[in-house]
């Protein structure tokens, strides 16, 4: 009998959907340490970027750059971190993460050792930023 | 007075150079836990992908995909990990890393907690693989 493996990015949205088309979706991740953390998730169960055709790769990366642009515009991070791992969930997805010099793991990647205590979160300001980030992302897709 | 900050990716190659053109270079990283670990480094001191022009972005990502293809062909990893952080060195560079289910950090990113004991390295086989990887990367750039 074949191996039956369920995939959480096939079964679930993987976050709060900001934009979705036939090929991929952009979602917001609910992580209080990283407000504005987005993922761009390919809809089909594909493992690596080089499993996509060139036009597919281009369209996915254009989405990643739009999310990066929107994050820079709205969240004004000190750095943007971008990564595609998929070791646990081998279903193509990009992490796009606004990073700040005082965030919990800086200057480590967010998967590394913690370096700082969590900053106090201004919930109201944060909610407004996330709303603006959604708009800034959507504006870019709408203009395409 | 302005801040004088030296950048190790401006001052040094950042690894063993496999390919270099006017815009970027591909280097091999000497990490015994991760043979075949490559970086694609933009030559100029640029911070984020969205600081590049669209043609620059496309040319850099094409290099990343060629390196991924070559790594898959030669190193036959279980997964490829791709990341651009630059928190410590805000000079655009992509990590392209062959990952295996028995490697030191799997399934964590290599910046995360260790999970497995290092596997015994067959040095001769490893050197041959790295030579083949260099060739597989160069072949792709030569054909362009």
pLDDT over 80 at A81, yes or no: yes
* Element housing A95 (H / E): strand A93-99
pLDDT over 60 at B94, yes or no: yes
Mean pLDDT, residues A56-83 taken together: 98
Long-range CB pairs of B14-21, under 8 A, 24+ apart, other chains included: B14/B39, B14/B41, B14/B93, B15/B39, B15/B41, B18/B134, B18/B137, B18/B138, B19/B63, B19/B137, B19/B138, B19/B141, B21/B141
Nearest alpha carbon to residue A103 among A78, A85, A131: A78
Residues in chain B: 144
Interface test with A, best of B85, B88, B93, B101 (most A CBs within 10 A): B85
**pLDDT at position B4, please?**
62
Cβ atoms of B26 and A10 within 8 Å: the answer is no
Write the pLDDT tens digit of every residue in A93-109. 999 999 999 999 999 99
**pLDDT at position A3, please?**
59
DSSP state of B86: -
Write the pLDDT tens digit of every residue in B14-65. 999 999 999 999 999 999 999 999 999 999 999 999 999 999 999 999 999 9
DSSP state of A105: T
Mean pLDDT, residues A114-138 taken together: 93
Mean pLDDT, residues A28-38 taken together: 96
Cβ atoms of A68 and B49 within 8 Å: the answer is yes
Which distant-in-sequence residues (6+ apart) come within 8 Å of A102 by Cβ? Answer: A116, A119
Confidence of residue B119 (pLDDT cuts 50, 70, 90): confident
Separation of alpha carbons A107 and B25, rounded Å: 24
Contacting residues of B for A112, CB less than 8 Å apart: 111-112
Reported ipTM exceeds the 0.85 cut? yes
CA distance A42 to chain B (A): 16
Strand order in the sheet with A24-28: A16-20, A24-28, A38-42, A93-99, A79-84, B79-84, B93-99, B38-42, B24-28, B16-20
Compute the mean pLDDT over every residue in chain B, rounded to the nearest whole number: 95
Residues in chain A: 144
Contacting residues of B for A68, CB less than 8 Å apart: 48-50
**pLDDT at position B3, please?**
59
């Amino acid at each position: 009998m074949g191996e039956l493996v369920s995939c959480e990015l096939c079964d679930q949205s993987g976050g709060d959907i900001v934009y979705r088309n036939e090929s991929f979706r952009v979602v917001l991740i609910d992580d209080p340490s990283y407000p504005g953390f987005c993922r761009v998730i390919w809809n089909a169960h594909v493992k690596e970027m080089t499993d996509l055709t060139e036009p597919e790769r281009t369209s996915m990366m254009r989405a990643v750059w739009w999310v990066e642009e929107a994050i820079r515009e709205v969240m004004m991070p000190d750095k943007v971190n971008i990564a595609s791992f998929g070791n646990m969930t081998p279903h193509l997805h990009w992490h796009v993460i606004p990073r700040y010099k005082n965030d919990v793991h800086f200057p480590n990647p967010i998967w590394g050792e913690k370096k700082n205590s969590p900053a106090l979160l201004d919930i109201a300001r944060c909610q407004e930023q996330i709303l603006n980030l959604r708009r800034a992302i959507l504006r870019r897709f709408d203009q395409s």
